[in-house]
Amino acid sequence: MSRTRVHNFTISLDGFATGEGLSAEQPFGHAGHRLHQWMMATAFGAPIMGLPGGSSGVDNAFAQQHEPGIGAEIMGSRKFGPPGWQDDPNWRGWWGPNPPFHTPTYVLTSRPRSPLEMEGGTTFHFLDAPGAEALKIAQEAASGKDVRIGGGPTMLRDFLAAGLIDHLHVVQVPVLLGRGVRLWDGLEGLEQQYQVETVSTPSGVTHFTFSR
């Protein structure tokens, strides 16, 4: 049975998953790298940033779960590029020629374009479809494997509200961003549908896993 999973989705202590002022120079706006430093410091995340080394403790154990058993990803339009990327026919995502997805990857956008085949097994498909419908398409492409929901916060909130997520891994970083886009809005009582486990780690972040 294909499950729908979220990994390494990071928020601030005050609940923001991105800052304000997203742009090509600042993919997370005024949040900068503060939300994702924990991941860049791991053996999983360091190579993605072209950095050597990285930790192999509990943060890394969580981070690496991003990969195994995943057969497709769905991401929101605001994860794929900065505001206005739809107007740039040459935009191919943030991640260079070999993006870290290695599966069919569905980008939800009201302005779909032709698929983009990248190196390493990632093909970007562009879909103008509601979440549940996109999920069916991605599950078919995943041929029995799980589908990862990549965020951003707006599309993830929609998937959570629609009851489409089976496993949710959220990482909370003890910074107060003050502004941006919140993850938890409109999700009152969500925890009642899941088993929730919480663990803080020596790096100072807290991992939440919502499983069902």
The residues binding its own copies (CB under 8 A) are 13-15, 174-179, 182, 184-191, 196-200, 204-206, 208
Q: Which is nearer to its own copies, 108 or 173 (CB)?
A: 173
Q: Which is nearer to its own copies, 36 or 125 (CB)?
A: 36
Alpha-carbon torsion angle 204, 159, 184, 193, nearest 10: -90
- Minimum gap (Å) between residue 135 Cβ and its own copies: 22
- Minimum gap (Å) between residue 20 Cβ and its own copies: 10
Q: Which is nearer to its own copies, 128 or 197 (CB)?
A: 197
Per-residue HEC secondary structure of 26-74 comes to CCCHHHCCCCCHHHHCECCHHHHCCCCCCECCHHHHHHHCCCCCEEEEE
Q: Which residues contact 211 (CB under 8 A, 6 or more apart)?
A: 166, 167, 168, 194, 195, 197
d(CA 88, CA 82): 10
Backbone angles phi, psi at 148, to 5 degrees: -95, 135
- Minimum gap (Å) between residue 3 Cβ and its own copies: 21
Using CA atoms, how far residue 127 sits from 26, 36, 123, 153, in Å, is 25, 27, 13, 18
Yes or no: say if 31 and 12 are a contact pair by the CB < 8 Å rule.
Answer: yes
Q: Which is nearer to its own copies, 25 or 188 (CB)?
A: 188
